Structure 1
Amino acid sequence: MIIKEKIQIAARDPRVRAGQKQELDVAFYLRRAFKDHPLVFVLHDFKFSFNEETAQIDHLIIYPFGFILLESKSIEGEVTVNAQGEWTRSVRNSWKGIPSPIKQLELQEKLLREMLNQNKHKILPKFLFNLVQQSFGGREWHQLCVVSSTAIIDRSNIPKNISGRVVKSEFVVDAVTKTMNLPRFDSKVIQALKIDTRPDFSEEDLNSICSFLLESDLAQLPIASSQPNNNDQTATEKPIISCKQCGEDELLVPNSGRYGYYVKCQKCGTNTSMKLSCSTCNSQNTKVSKKATQYTLVCLDCSSQQIVMEAR
């Protein structure tokens, strides 16, 4: 499931455009593979801050046994890594050293671990008669560097512990699937997970983790005012969400689940998705984000934003 889309931003700098194209390519492959998977969650451009430090992860995958961090690198020509883990790339018939994406991912992982563990009591439930707090210990943590499909990777001298973490864009799904080592996605997937000896997150845990990450995301689009502004095309009139069964628009409680954010009607008990069509262009290519108590619908086609509801 894609819980935060990759948003394309106009850029003039050729290097920025190349980097963005690479990230969009990776996002495309991940969407094709996991958009309908109920136990694999994907966030793009996840930016967070903890303990006075800030990090941005190009692509973050949450699955029942842990996390995978992916760094996209637009690399043309040849790339090599020596025995010390130092990276070099060819640029117009010459060689140039570049920072190690693997080291960057390791630093991002360390900060993310710290943030999650610091907030474990908000995210994960207790067990053993509500006496022991569940934590993120024993979970799997992996990193993958995804380089351009046109790059040439010289693997002759790359250390094995690094070579397995460097893949081209078209092989990213294969690498992610192998890393997660989940049973095939079919009607027996939940039962198959139960016989795996790895400590796992429940479906409720996964939803809670994703909600926390979305609330912590500093890269979310800014919340637009509910008041229309003729000079700002991103500000639109506040929509009214109502129960699809009985039409109730007051007694609604926001929640999140396998298929994203929804409201539960306290009058008839029906669940209604917050993922509405865009009221500006009628597109159904929208997503819902949450910040504090406010839920906002963002159109991925025309970039307009609409406040769906404010939690009471």
Structure 2
Amino acid sequence: MILKTKTLQMTKTPQTIAGQKQEQDVAFFLRRAFKDHPEVLVINDFKFSFNDETAQIDHLLVYTYGFVLIESKSIKGHVKVNNQGEWTRSYNSHWSGMPSPIKQVELQQALLKEMLMHHRNDILSKLLGIKQQGFNGRCWHYLCAVSSNAVIDRKTMPKDVSEKLFKTEFLVDELKRIMKLKHKLIRLVNVTDTRPDFNQQELDSIGQFLISQHIDSNIQQVNNTQVERKQTQAIANTPELEPELQPALAPTHHLAQSNATILAPVATLAPDQHPILSCKYCGESTQYTPMYGKFGYYINCNQCSKNTSMKLPCPQCMSKNTKVTKRKETYTLNCVDCEFEKQII
């Protein structure tokens, strides 16, 4: 189940554009593999702070037995790692050093584990009145996914690094090998698998907690821009009528997606053209991801990362006796009372 999609950022340099595309490629494969799996929660582009430290995890998987962190790296050309764990890569026949993504994701994992352990009593339930063991006893793994067109020199690479380094298209195969997911009935009779597992309630609780800790970089960027504009006007000391400050992600704005993410006003629509479905928290009506959970169909907002149910009152008779149906990629709101139907996605 996808809890959070990749948030597109304003990028200008070829390096940042390539890095963002690599993260989108990894997110695509994760979505194809786990979007309908209730026991695998996928959080893309997760940024959080704890104990005065901040970390950004490219991709985080929470599953029945533990956690997998994935660091995405856009590498064109050759990549080598020596016996000291130092990374080098080539570009246009020029070799240069680069920070180790393995060390980077190790630090991210340590901070994530520290945060979860600190809040474990609020997140995990009790079993027969006894507190669960927390998060240290769970399975913890991390991987690095590099571009599919990279050339990896595995002959001279340390084995422990090679085992964590995968091209994007082979990543899901390794994830399934690591997680070793089994059907619930098989887990009950399989006495050889001693891994402690999260129940569905605990998985949902972990997912909700992590989403609540996410720091939205887009909101920060908009707020910073507003502050900078006010400072510039104060320095210039020129009279200027200030427009009323609006929330960073008000319904009158949306994020247009291309190679960059920009704020742009939404065009005025005729009354019958207004979107029927929008985020109930920030008003976003275009950038969201349709999902399905135990309470039915809903959308996950790409901007504020919160969920909104697709089950709305009938726009014709205002009856709440409605239901949502899905056919391929089309979602339709159906009114049981007046038989009104309207496509919402």
TM-score scaled by length of structure 1? 0.73
Q: CA deviation at 1:131?
A: 3.9
Q: CA deviation at 1:182?
A: 1.5
Distance 1:220 1:237, change over 3 A: farther
Q: CA deviation at 1:238?
A: 11
Mapped contact 2:41–2:61 kept (Cα < 8 A): yes
Distance 1:226 1:89, change over 3 A: closer
- Render the CA deviation track for 1:126-145: whole Å, top value 9, x for unaligned: 234x2434411211111110
Q: Does residue 1:8 correspond to 2:8, yes or no?
A: yes
Q: CA deviation at 1:201?
A: 0.7
Which deviates more from structure 2 when the two are superposed, residues 155-164 or residues 43-52? 155-164
The equivalences for 1:221-260 within 5 A come to: 222=219, 229=252, 232-233=265-266, 259-260=292-293
Q: Does residue 1:51 correspond to 2:48, yes or no?
A: no
Distance 1:32 1:97 in 2: 34
Task: Name the amino acid aligned to 2:81.
Answer: V
- SS of structure 1 residue aligned to 2:152: strand
Distance 1:158 1:167 in 2: 13
RMSD: 3.2
Distance 1:221 1:2, change over 3 A: farther
Distance 2:266 2:122 in 1: 37
Distance 2:265 2:29 in 1: 33
Unaligned 5+ runs, structure 2: 220-245, 254-263, 268-273, 280-290, 311-345
TM-score scaled by length of structure 2? 0.66
The equivalences for 1:120-135 within 5 A come to: 120-128=120-128, 130-135=129-134
Of 204, 208, 212, which aligns to 1:211? 208
Match of 2:156 in 1: 157
Going by fraction, where is helix more abundant, 1 or 2? 2
The equivalences for 1:191-202 within 5 A come to: 191-194=185-188, 195=190, 196-202=193-199
Mapped contact 2:5–2:302 kept (Cα < 8 A): no
- SS of structure 1 residue aligned to 2:198: coil
Larger radius of gyration: 2
Percent identity, aligned pairs only, is 48
Mapped contact 1:215–1:291 kept (Cα < 8 A): no
Unaligned 5+ runs, structure 1: 184-188, 242-257, 263-270, 276-285, 299-312
Task: Name the amino acid aligned to 1:204.
Answer: Q
Task: Name the amino acid aligned to 1:62.
Answer: V
Distance 1:131 1:44, change over 3 A: same
- SS of structure 1 residue aligned to 2:80: strand
Match of 1:32 in 2: 32
Tell me the matched-pair count.
254
Match of 2:19 in 1: 19
Match of 2:222 in 1: none
Match of 2:171 in 1: 172
Distance 2:187 2:138 in 1: 15
- Render the CA deviation track for 1:241-261: whole Å, top value 9, x for unaligned: 9xxxxxxxxxxxxxxxx944x
Q: CA deviation at 1:224?
A: 5.2
Distance 1:226 1:31 in 2: 25
Match of 2:184 in 1: 190
- Render the CA deviation track for 1:82-121: whole Å, top value 9, x for unaligned: 1111111112212111110000000000000000000001
Task: Name the amino acid aligned to 1:99.
Answer: P
